[in-house]
């Protein structure tokens, strides 16, 4: 079962782009997003949708990748609405909210959604191996400080591999519970919290078992800490330079535009 | 050659003896089937071959290298590949090609050689067209083939398969068996743990394990003629052997030392010819 957010096979321009350029673009875009004004943020949002579409990522799939963070997004929005503003514009039970709070909440939530979208487009168009090789390239100087760059790279590969497995495992436990007539329905919060803890424990035990098996399988394929090579060879093509140049210009213009809009 | 000499293994802290005085030799290029009831020690024995488990007593040597010496583990794991029962627990990479490259990357091979090995391994397993596919989107059978390709890319001399066709539909199981047969044909030693007696009948030698002991060892024809012992252990006969026995019981003069379905078909065909002529 494919989980939204993980690598989506394709041969689009974005897929073929050097992973170092993609990684740099995501970092640059994140800086632009965090400093963007609302109107510019909307343009970035539409630009991200267009980029995703050009890479063969349907908007629904992008939405699915953002979905797991919906409660967190809602929390960010509500926190800013009720606790970040000056003049009172309305009341909701005991809470009051302001127009400036509502504005900030919209902006911050928009920034957060755009950040997730940028990261998801990156992980959906660059395979973990490509990402890791690109990351290793940028982390290379840390080797001289005895930072275990290769071990960090394998940890990232495993984290990217295990995340969708965790989601699938959680779904399996949920379905298995429902098959045995487990339905929280209108249960109270206490029951729900207990159920959550029970599921988290089952999930953790399953993951520990799986990690154990995976470690044995990795050992069987001669994995050991330290240096490894990679099948991925980084090569800068002509369009990588063009994209990098475009990225640089976009970054400079965006920063200038943002400061003039402020 | 893989050699087990008086091997004992006990799981701690439960104190369950999984292997008890096991002595066994597996020649290079041999296809050995390991059968036995659940919990008889098949997987434990298999993990000794790859030095994932070390014997409590006795020795296990792979081409003369003792698994007890940690310095040999790298060379042993290059010679003996291991295909685990659940491919989900074996696949590390996100795409088929990435996972196949994991082993050669650990061997620190140059990128061009890694890609060449990956291409050859995917070609041998018949999944070259899946190279760039995300492993999450594959079927159970395809995931098994990815696991086999990952091992093949290490260019091993022996491959240990732990129930490679478990939970697969007949078509996917047949595909896996065809790949195993092809590898055996290329001279790779196969150690095949199975609960499927028809699969065991395809091997050149069968070893029956029961409660950590080797109960029987011999050719499939020799093993499946020991019906009483097999029944006592709780094992069945291959469908072809069952069929021949049933035909014999009905009074037909058929051979009962047949264990493979194609041999059974030949036997029945020649019987019909005799009846026609007679």
Given this model, what pLDDT does residue A85 score? 62
Among A residues 235-254, those touching chain B with beta carbons less than 8 Å apart: none
Tell me how far apart the alpha carbons of residues A66 and A117 are, in angstroms, rounded to a whole number.
Answer: 7
Lowest mean pLDDT among A62-66, A243-247, B262-266: A62-66
Tell me how far apart the alpha carbons of residues B22 and B33 are, in angstroms, rounded to a whole number.
Answer: 16
B71 part of contact set with chain A, CB < 8 Å: no
Q: Do A221 and B103 touch (CB under 8 A)?
A: yes
pLDDT digits 0-9 by tens, B137-166: 899 999 999 999 999 999 999 999 999 998
User: Could you tell me the pLDDT band of residue A5, with boundaries at 50, 70 and 90?
Assistant: low
Instruction: Give the chain A residue nearest B72 (alpha carbons).
Output: A222
Of B78, B84, B105, the CB nearest to A217: B84
B100 to chain A, closest Cα gap in Å = 10
Across residues B107-129, what is the average pLDDT? 94
pLDDT digits 0-9 by tens, A106-159: 889 999 999 999 999 998 898 888 888 898 888 888 888 888 888 888 888 888
Q: Do B134 and A224 touch (CB under 8 A)?
A: no
Task: Share the mean pLDDT of chain A.
Answer: 83
Q: Give the ranges where chain A is alpha helix by DSSP (H).
A: 13-16, 19-35, 38-54, 59-66, 70-83, 99-125, 128-139, 149-179, 189-220, 238-261
Lowest mean pLDDT among A23-32, A209-218, B195-204: A209-218
Domain boundaries, chain A: 1-147+237-262, 149-225
pLDDT digits 0-9 by tens, B76-86: 999 999 999 88
Tell me how far apart the alpha carbons of residues B96 and B74 are, in angstroms, rounded to a whole number.
Answer: 24
Torsion of CA A39, A43, A45, A49, to 10 degrees: 160
Instruction: Retrieve residue B243's tokens.
Output: 């069929």
Instruction: Retrieve residue A114's tokens.
Output: 């755009």
Q: Looking at the predicted structure, is the pLDDT value of residue A82 above 60?
A: yes
pLDDT digits 0-9 by tens, A87-115: 555 666 556 667 777 888 888 999 999 99
Tell me how far apart the alpha carbons of residues B79 and A91 are, in angstroms, rounded to a whole number.
Answer: 73
Q: Looking at the predicted structure, is the pLDDT value of residue B271 above 90?
A: no
Given this model, what pLDDT does residue B185 score? 94
Place of tokens 């732990």: B162
**Is residue B61 a contact partner of residue B67, using CB atoms and an 8 Å limit?**
yes
- Whether the complex's predicted ipTM is more than 0.95 is answered with no
Given this model, what pLDDT does residue A67 score? 81
B177 versus A255: the higher-pLDDT residue is: B177
Q: Characterize the bridge pairing of strands B205-210 and B213-218.
A: antiparallel
A210 part of contact set with chain B, CB < 8 Å: yes
Q: Looking at the predicted structure, is the pLDDT value of residue A16 above 60?
A: yes
Given this model, what pLDDT does residue B124 score? 94
Q: Do A231 and B115 touch (CB under 8 A)?
A: yes
User: How buried is residue A103: exposed, middle or buried, by Cβ count under 10 Å (0-12/13-18/19+)?
Assistant: middle
Test the B interface: residue of A162, A220, A225, A230 with most B CBs within 10 Å: A220
- Count CB pairs under 8 A between chains A and B: 112
pLDDT digits 0-9 by tens, B190-228: 999 999 999 999 999 999 999 999 999 999 999 999 999
Across residues B107-117, what is the average pLDDT? 93
B52 part of contact set with chain A, CB < 8 Å: yes
Across residues A182-203, what is the average pLDDT? 78
pLDDT digits 0-9 by tens, A28-48: 999 999 988 888 889 999 999
């Amino acid at each position: 079962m494919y989980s939204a957010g993980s690598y989506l096979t394709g041969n689009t321009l974005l897929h073929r782009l050097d992973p170092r350029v993609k990684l740099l673009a995501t970092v640059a875009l994140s800086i632009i997003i965090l400093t963007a004004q609302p109107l510019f943020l909307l343009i970035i949002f539409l630009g991200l949708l267009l980029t995703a579409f050009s890479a063969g990522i349907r908007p629904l799939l992008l939405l699915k990748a953002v979905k797991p963070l919906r409660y967190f997004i809602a929390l960010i929005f509500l926190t800013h609405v009720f606790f970040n503003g000056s003049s009172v514009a309305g009341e909701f039970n005991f809470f009051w909210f302001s127009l400036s709070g509502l504005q900030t909440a919209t902006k911050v939530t928009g920034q957060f959604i755009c950040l997730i979208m940028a990261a998801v487009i990156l992980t959906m168009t660059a395979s973990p191996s490509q990402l890791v090789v690109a990351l290793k390239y940028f982390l290379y100087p840390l080797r001289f400080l005895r930072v275990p760059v290769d071990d960090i790279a394998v940890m990232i590969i495993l984290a990217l591999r295990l995340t969708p497995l965790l989601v699938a495992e959680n779904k399996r436990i949920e379905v298995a519970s429902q098959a045995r007539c487990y339905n929280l329905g209108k249960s109270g919060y206490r029951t729900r919290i207990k159920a959550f803890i029970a599921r988290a424990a089952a999930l953790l035990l399953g993951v520990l078992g799986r990690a154990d098996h995976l470690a044995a399988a990795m050992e069987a394929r001669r994995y050991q800490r330290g240096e490894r090579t990679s099948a991925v060879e980084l090569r800068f093509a002509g369009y990588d330079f063009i994209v990098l140049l475009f990225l640089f210009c976009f970054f400079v213009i965006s920063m200038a535009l943002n400061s003039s809009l402020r | 050659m893989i050699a087990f000499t008086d091997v004992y293994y006990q799981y701690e802290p439960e104190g369950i003896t999984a292997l008890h005085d096991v002595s066994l030799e597996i020649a290079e290029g041999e296809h050995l089937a390991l059968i036995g009831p659940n919990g008889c020690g098949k997987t434990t024995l298999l993990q000794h071959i790859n030095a994932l488990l070390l014997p409590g007593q006795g020795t296990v040597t792979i081409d003369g290298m003792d698994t007890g010496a940690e310095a040999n583990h790298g060379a042993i794991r290059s010679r003996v590949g291991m295909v685990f029962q659940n491919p989900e627990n074996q696949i590390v990479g996100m795409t088929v090609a990435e996972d196949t490259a994991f082993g050669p990357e650990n061997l620190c091979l140059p990128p061009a050689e890694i890609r060449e090995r990956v291409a050859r391994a995917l070609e041998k397993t018949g999944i070259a067209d899946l190279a760039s596919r995300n492993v999450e989107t594959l079927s159970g059978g395809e995931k098994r083939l990815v696991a086999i390709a990952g091992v093949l890319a290490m260019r091993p001399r022996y491959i240990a398969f732990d129930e490679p066709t478990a939970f697969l539909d007949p078509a996917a199981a047949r595909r896996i068996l065809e790949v195993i047969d092809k590898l055996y044909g290329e001279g790779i030693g196969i150690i095949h743990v199975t609960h499927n007696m028809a699969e065991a009948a395809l091997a050149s030698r069968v070893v029956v394990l029961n409660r950590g002991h080797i109960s029987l060892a011999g050719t499939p024809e020799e093993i499946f003629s020991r019906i009483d012992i097999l029944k006592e252990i709780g094992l069945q006969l291959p469908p072809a052997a069952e069929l021949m026995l049933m035909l014999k019981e009905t009074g037909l003069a058929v051979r009962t030392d047949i264990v493979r379905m194609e041999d059974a078909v030949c036997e029945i065909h020649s019987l019909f010819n005799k009846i026609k002529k007679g």
